[in-house]
Amino acid sequence: MITREQIPTVLDHPVHDTDGTKIGDAKHVFLDDATGRPEWVSVKTGLFGTSESFVPIHDASIVEDHLEVPYAKDTVKDAPNVDVDAGGHLSEEEEHRLYEHYGIDWDAAWQQADRPGDAGRAHTGTSGDVGPRETTGTPGTPGTRAGTPGTRAGTDDAMTRSEERMTVGTERHEAGRARLRKYVVTEEVQQTVPVRHEEVRVEREPITDENRDAALSGPEISEAEHEVTLHEERPVAQTETVPVERVRMSTEERTDEETVRGRVRKERIEAEGTEDAQGTDQRRRDE
């Protein structure tokens, strides 16, 4: 259980769930009207801390430099949205919805809280700093938010005006995948090559003085054969593998511009009830 003395150790420090996963950062601690004990902690969640979820602090514990709550991260992020008013007060209906979300028995929690008599169930106050605070008030009525100007002992007569600023950043996501894949295809190719072959040609020559001796060298009349072998060329195809190119993939980064729109809240301060010398109401609005 977190005590009021430990509140400075909790504020603006990480909040982890039961698995040790960071949920966000603690921004405010809400105190019980009747007992003054820390009851709820608001956790800034979301990409830029734009959401604020409430989680019970009763069973939380401080571990090293962070607050550990006995709830899963998704459970905390899905908690009912509670819009705390300027007084920093949780209504009974809002608190009831939070109890139901976290599976806490409303009546049992009320009995165990050691509240005086039949005082109403009103929880209020956020702790933005430490020091004297007005946190109890009348049971059953909205109390005051600790750390709000005008509620601290010894505060001055000035009012602080605050506003939200939108911070835009980027995060890297996987947008797709590209791959090189090599596969084999078969193509029909055609090439013309010259081929040679031998043909028989019969040559006849008359008997002359030059070939007479060769012509009379054999028998006068006989049968004979003379054979000639013919040759021809045939096309022969074979394949060989040769490298033709190398292919690789690379990435290049390009920068585009996108417009991000959001809503931010600003506080305005105006003076009411002041009159000038002519009796007209003077109202000054701080823009």
Rounded to the nearest 10 degrees, how much is the dihedral formed by the CA atoms of 198, 204, 205, 211?
A: 70
Which two structure tokens, joined as six digits, stand for 125?
């106050």
- Spatial separation of the C-alpha atoms in residues 275 and 262, rounded to whole Å: 39
**pLDDT at residue 153, rounded to an integer:** 37
Helices then strands, counting H and E runs in the chain, come out as 5, 12
Q: Are 40 and 58 in contact (CB under 8 A)?
A: no
Top CATH class of 4-148 equals: alpha beta
The residue that leads in pLDDT, 184 or 4, is 184
84-130 pLDDT, tens digit per residue, is 654 567 778 888 888 888 888 776 666 555 444 333 333 444 444 33
pTM attached to this predicted model: 0.40
Kindly tell me the burial class for residue 24, based on how many C-beta atoms sit within 10 Å of its own C-beta (0-12, 13-18, 19 or more).
buried
Q: Which of 3-7, 24-28, 90-94, 155-159 has the lowest mean pLDDT?
A: 155-159
Decide if pLDDT at 22 tops 70.
yes
DSSP string, 268-282: -EE--SEE-TTSPEE
Q: Are 6 and 13 in contact (CB under 8 A)?
A: no
Q: Which residue has the tokens 């509670």?
A: 82
109-118 pLDDT, tens digit per residue, is 665 554 443 3
Residue from 37, 38, 15, 41 nearest 28 by CA: 41
DSSP secondary structure letter of residue 171: -
Residue from 66, 5, 67, 59 nearest 36 by CA: 5
**pLDDT at residue 100, rounded to an integer:** 87
Q: Which residues pair with 32 in a beta bridge?
A: 123
Q: Where are the domains of the chain?
A: 4-148
